[in-house]
Structures are given as structure tokens and as C-alpha cells.
Chains A and B, each alone.
Chain A
Amino acid sequence: MEQKLSQNDLFTLIALLCHGGYFWVLPSFATKENGSMGILSMLLGAGTGLLILILAYRLSQKANGQPIFQYLGQIMPKPLAQVTALAIWSYLAIFLILCLAFFTEMMSSRLLVDTPRWLISGVLLFLIGRLAALGLVDITRFSFFALISLLFLMLMLILGNLPLFEIIQALPLVLENGAAFVDTWLQVSNAYAIVLCLLFILPRVKQEKKNLSWAASALVLSAVFLSVMTFLAMGVFGQDFSQTMFWMHLEQAKIIQLGPYLERVEAIYVILWMTVIFAASSILIYCTNHSLAQIIQRPLTVKMHWLLIFFFWLCCNYLGNMEKIILLLGYFNQIFFWLMIGGLLLAFFFAQRDRKASNL
């Protein structure tokens, strides 16, 4: 009998997705031209993410356990369904590549400066591939440990930064650049839109009333934590200087001092954070690979799985520096996000139409 995930598992998966590699650089983007006001744009972006979560949830419910792309093929004209599916798949794939690229870049520039990037990303992807190959149930089991790491990280960051926090540095909250605010809001929305992985996760979850609440609460908690973290960074480093930092949380980790003996714990911080990246990337790979299998209407074989992993590894290595990563991020925000949103809305529209037709 196929094992179904519980609400706790759903919460864990969504919480980890919302803390994947890309999310840890969001505060830098959010505060770049907005200062402390960037926190508001992050919360608004999370709100948009919440709407996308609800959309994905409703769509998945209408699919009633069917693979989502199969359902889309039934309710939409086939070419349109294919385009929608590809738009969603490409969003997932690029999000995954960005997560891995950001993490590799951070490791390469901060911790393991001379170690080849291909080795850092290679071993990580190999293990991620191994975990993703076990299926969603085992990914969820691993995610439990990652969630504990995440809670520990949160505590470490908050308690470690409080001694140096000065509220006068974080205030005032002033909206200086409206266009930058909107741009940031869209960027954050794009990041939180990853919750559309719910389309692939929900068929494996036990059908219960509060599933949506649990998923939504995971997203909200993530948004709250990131906002708190950003506010703390503002208070410690000042609004102006924070805008020049890319790896804001890493700088925050550097100043943590555990008693008079343990300092410079950013290495511990990074490796704990790695478990979160690991879990989030496994979920992403699971969703990406299974969605591609649905598109080409073939079962996902082991060979295909590892070929895709290899492809992602190549893409990650191609993004060999921050410039290329930011360029891809730009395209991701400007093109792929809107394609995905368009596809999602279109799918929802057809699903609604299909429901009305079946009611009649």
C-alpha cells in the first residue's frame, strides 16, 4: 500500500522549500535599495506566495490525485497544456539551478576558496540525487532532521546577533524608491512561488481538511523568520552597510560568539544550513524530475534521473561566477516567473471551466 504523508510532513516539506539556497540571499536583494523597508517587500512577496500556494492547492485538489500534467492534458487543449507544463517545469528547473549555484558560489567564495567548484557541487548533487531517488517518503524522513537543523540555525542567529543589535540602526522604515520596492516585491514573490511544488507533493499527502493551513503556516513562518533575520542584520550592520553585503546571513553568523570560547562559528552555521539546502534541493529535484516524466509521458527511470542530475550539475558549473548567476536570476525574474504565473492562471481558469461544465 502506498504510504501517504501526514500534515506534519507537508509542513516540513513546505518549510524547507521556503528556506532553500535562494532564500538566504533574498534579504540582500530586498534591502539593496530599500533599506529596512525591504522587510515589508519581503512580507508582501510572501503574501503573493501565499496566493500562489492557494492556487496550486486548489488546482491539485481538482486533479483529484491524478498527475497534474495529465489532468491539464484533459482539461486544456493539448498544445496549451504542454506549454503550461513546460513553463512550470522550466521554472522549477531554473530555481533548482539557482539554489545550487548560489550555495556553490557561497562555499567557493567564503569557506573553501581553493577547492574546485565542480567538486563542491558534484558531491552535493550526487548525494541529493541519491536521496531524491528514494522517493518522497524518504525525502520527508530526511527533512525532519533538516528541520531540526533549521530551528537550531534560527536560534543561533537570533541569539547570536541580539547582543550587537541596535534598533536605532535598523530604523527608520522609509520608502524612498517606489520602483525598487515593487521590483523587490516581485523578486520575493518569484522566490516564494516555489510553493507550486505542492502540485506534485499534494497527491502524496493524506486528504485532510487542514492541509492548506499547515502549508500556509510553513510559508508564513519562513517569511517571518527571514524578516526577523533581515531586521536583525539592519540593526547590527546598519542600513547603509547592509546594502553592500551579499551574504548577509554569513556575516551575521561570523559575529556570533558562544561564551568566551567559541567564535567564528560560520563554518558550523554553513554546514548546518547545508542540510536545509540538501532537503530543499531533494524536494526540488523530485518535483522537477517527476514533472518532466509526466510531460514526456514516461515513467522516471533511474537512468533518466541521473542524466537529469548530471545536466543540473553541468548548468551549475557553467554558472561559474556571481555575474552569470545574477544574469540568470534576472531572466528568471523577468521571463520565467511570468510564464509560470501565466501557465498557472490558465490552468486554473480551465479547471474552473471544467468544473462548471461537469456541474451542468
Chain B
Amino acid sequence: MQKVRKADLKAVTSSEKNAEISGVLTQDIAHLQKLFERCSDFVCREFQIGSSKAAIFYFDGMVKTETVNDEILRSLILETRMAKSEQTEKNRLTDFLEQHALTVGEIERVDTWAEALAALYVGDTLLLLDGCEEAFVLNSKGFPQRSVDKAGNEKVLRGPEEAFNETLRVNTALIRKRVKSYNLKMESLTLGVNTQTKVVLAYLEDVANPSIVAEAKKRLESLQGVKGIMESSGIEQMIEDNPQSVFPQIQYSERPDRVCQAMTEGRIAILVDGSPNVLIIPALLVQLLQSPDDYYNRAKAGTFMRFIRYIGIAVALLFPSLYVAITSYHPEMLPLNLLLSIAAAREGVPFPAFVEALLMALAFELLREASLRMPSAIGNTIGIVGALVIGEAAVSANLVAPQMIVVVSLTAIGSFTLPSIEASYPVRLLRFPLMILAAILGLYGVMLGVIAILIHLIKLKSFGYPYLAPLAPLSVSGAKDMFIRRSRKDVRQKVLFQQSPQYSVGRSLDGTKIIPE
């Protein structure tokens, strides 16, 4: 029997929190109708059970009509006619209904308005009886939901194709069917004053570090006062260690297999009702760069793909800035043939290499954004045509050199090799400051930029764990695994994050910031 949890009640307004159901049906009906006045989808159906008056309440569209009609109304109106009169007396009516009349799977009795309203919001039907200070909450959830579909943003060549959808119970079921263990715990919270969004913290009790679980709960509970939570991204940005950083410290996935794999490694999943993206914490940089494909394919193929991916990332981040730096500051490094080819192409171009690179990179970002908003039918076509036309036209008009088109294209292709979209944002963003540094100081500037990024990454933590682990701090086996995927036979399932996390970053004494030792 699914109880309306105390945690769910916290989101209800304080005035309703402790108010009890009066038991006088007319009063209760009036109370509800006042609360939900101007709510056209609120339904109130009054009827008689024996000599007692009763009423059911629900939100049209949130309930399964068959359940309401057949399991609830039919049972209550028709079946109770067969009952003996003593069974339907007021003091024995509730028991009779629960034991003999109602054929709904889950039934709960509540006595406060808070619990009653919470049930209405999730698509249950509320049954009030005249003279009874308890209400029945009848499970009749039937709100519209998307079916389990393919993962649109995390494609793999081989492996399961199921993806999460917006319904929390469907998502928890997708996890539960893969992790068949009593150690799989799913703790629930309700966040968002107006949205009362259900959030579930899922983890494997035998592998997850209890301090991470406690910290996650603490951070989630701190969001109790938030007005509304519509998507997991809202929670993500509010609980991560450094929201100002361009690097995501929390991973998200729409793939149940990925989430389950993460949980078996000791990580924790946060499922949010209404969001198909499940958060995974902690998230280290190396985990953002790995794809489930690496493990579904053969070991050597997985290793090769990883190297290609790392090259792609390096190209996406550094290629434009290196091009600007070398052509503007260190052309002596280029072989003469290449230098002449670039020089010839740049002869009529009025802009310096930096401006060219900036223009083309911005144009590409515009195309990328535009193609996201366009209807899918024409989006792909416009994207391809736009790229070709703009690129070709720009070269013909002598606005950019052809080499720049190659650079920008390779950069874009490199950024698409990243398996997670959230990992591609830092690369796309940081490309621009690196280009600026390359334009000012050449390769020295690029190196300074890379060092600055490295310092930031070294400082960054995800739920107390160093973001650059296993490279910094160095763990040889972990670092090897970053690059070389060993065969399944050789790899015992690793449990990560067993060391205590470190949440304090610096000490302060009398309010003064101190440099840590």
C-alpha cells in the first residue's frame, strides 16, 4: 500500500498542513470546491452509499477513467446495494468499503487535508463519506505519459536502446528491472512549493559511500523552499559544488543502463518526476568522456574509440587557437608548401586569422543553435545547406580562407565525438578565450589558457572528490583504465569513491581567507 509520505506533505502550505477533515460532507465539499474554484478539470461526483452520502473528487485527465468508473463508482454504487444494512451503517461503513466493496489495488485512509490534496495532485481519487473524518485515497493514476522510447541524445552502436521518460515510476521501474537486489534503495523527497515534484535518490547500499548519500540528501533537503522544480537541471545547478564553473560536476543520462552501471560503481542516481534525465553523482571529468559503447564493444575497439574521442576533444578545444597562434606568431613551424598554400589563400582576405576564426566559429554556433529550434523535417537540411552555402560563399567572397573552413569543420566534428552533451559545452565555450589568448600571445597565450583551465580543473570537486581523478591525484590503475579498456575477464567490477570526500576547500580564521597549506 503506497502511503502518502510525510515528506510529501512538507510541500503543502502550512495552513493546510494540520487541518483535519471535518467529516461533514457538505462542509468538506464546499472546502474543496472553494480551493479548486476556477479549476475546470476538478471533478466532484456526489452519490449515495446506503443511507450515507458520499462524494469522490479527482482531476479529469489525471485519472484512469475506467478505474474511476468501474473500480470505484460501480463498486460503490452498485455493489453496496447488495450489502446488508448493518454493514453499511456509519460506524462500519469504512471497513466494509475497504474490505468488501472497493476493488482498487491501493487504498489508504487519510485524515488531514494535506494528505488528501497531495493524493489528488498525483492522480489519485479522493473518497469522502458523510460523518466520517477519514477520507479514502484510491489509486487511479492515469495521467498522460510518453512510452519508453529510444535514447535520442545518447546514441550507441550496440547496447540497449531504452530511455527514461517523464514519469518517475516508469523510470524507477526501468532501474529496478535491471538491478535486482534488495540493496537497491530508493529514497523519496518532494521538492518545489508549487510543483511538489517528487525526487528519488537511488543507490546500492552495499557499494555507495554513506557520506555521499548523506551529503546528497542534505543538499536536496536544502531545496525545500524552492518555488518550483520542473526539470533535473534545476536541481543540478542548485546542488553542484561550483555552479559558476563551465564544467559540469554532475552527470546526467537518459539511459537506464548507464545509470545502473554508475550505481554499481558506487555512484548515486537522482530521479526527478517530469524529467527524462537522471542525475548521477559524483561525476568526474573522465566519466563524462566515457561512453557505454566502450564497454559494449570489444576491448581493443573500445580503446581505439577512446583515443579517437580524446583526439576529438583536443581538436575541438585547441585546433582553432593553435591555427591562429601558429599562422600569426610562429609561421616558421609550418612546412614551406603548407605555408605557401595558406599564404596564397589568405592573400585577398581582409581580416587577420583571429577574426576569421572567430567569425567562422560564431557562425557555426549560430547554425548549431538554429538547427536545434527548427522543425526536424527541415532542420537537418537547413543545417547542411547552411554550412555549405555559408562556407562556400564566405570563401568565394574572400572573407575567409578555405583552410579556416577545414579548421572549423574539424573542430565541430571533434566536439561531436563527446558522448555527453554536457561535456561538450565547456569545450565550445573555452575555445573562444583560447583563441583570444592565441591572438594576443601566440602559443604562449594558448599554453597560459591551457594552464588556467588545468588549475581550475585541479581546484574543482564533485561532491568532495577531485574532478581530475584518477589523473590528479594520480592513481596508476585508474589512469591506465582511462586510456586502455581491458577485457571484461581482467576487470573486476570497480567500486569507486570509497575514500572520504573532502568538502572544505580553505580555512578561514576570524573571517579572513587563508591560503591553505
Contact = CB atoms under 8 A, between A and B. Distances in A.
A binds B: yes
Interface of A: 1-3, 8, 107, 111-112, 115, 119-120, 123-124, 127, 130-138, 140-142, 144-145, 204, 260-265, 267-268, 270-271, 274-275, 278, 289-290, 299-302, 305
B473 interface: yes
Interface of B: 329-330, 332-333, 335, 441-444, 446-448, 451-452, 454-455, 458-459, 466, 468, 471-474, 500, 502, 509, 512-517
A144 B454 CA distance: 11
A115 B441 contact: yes
Given A141-B458, A142-B455, A264-B333, A133 B515 contact: yes
A268 B332 CA distance: 12
Nearest to A272: B447
B512 A144 contact: no
4 closest cross-chain pairs (CB), A and B: A141-B472, A135-B516, A271-B447, A264-B332
A300 B515 contact: yes
Contacts of A141: 458, 466, 468, 472-473
B455 A271 contact: no
Contacts of A115: 441
Contacts of B446: 271
Contact of A1 (B452, B458, B500): B500
Contacts of A107: 444
A301 B472 contact: no
14 contacts: A111-B442, A111-B444, A123-B448, A130-B452, A141-B458, A141-B466, A141-B472, A144-B472, A145-B454, A267-B329, A268-B333, A271-B443, A271-B447, A302-B513
A133 to B, nearest CB: 5
Query: Which of A1, A267, A290 is most buried by chain B, counting CB atoms within 10 A of its CB?
Result: A267
Contact of A131 (B443, B444, B455, B472): B455
Contact of A278 (B329, B451, B459, B500): B451
Nearest to A124: B448
B335 to A, nearest CB: 5
Nearest to B325: A267
B441 A289 contact: no
Nearest to A304: B515
Nearest to B509: A299
B516 A134 contact: yes
B515 A289 contact: yes
A127 B452 contact: yes
Contact of A142 (B330, B444, B458): B458
A218 to B, nearest CB: 16
Nearest to A203: B517
A194 to B, nearest CB: 20
Given A141-B458, A262-B335, A275 B466 contact: no
B448 A127 contact: yes
A263 B447 contact: no
A332 B466 CA distance: 40
Given A112-B442, A289-B515, A301-B514, A275 B447 contact: yes
A267 B332 CA distance: 10
A123 B516 contact: no
B335 A275 contact: no
A3 B455 contact: no
Contacts of A261: 335
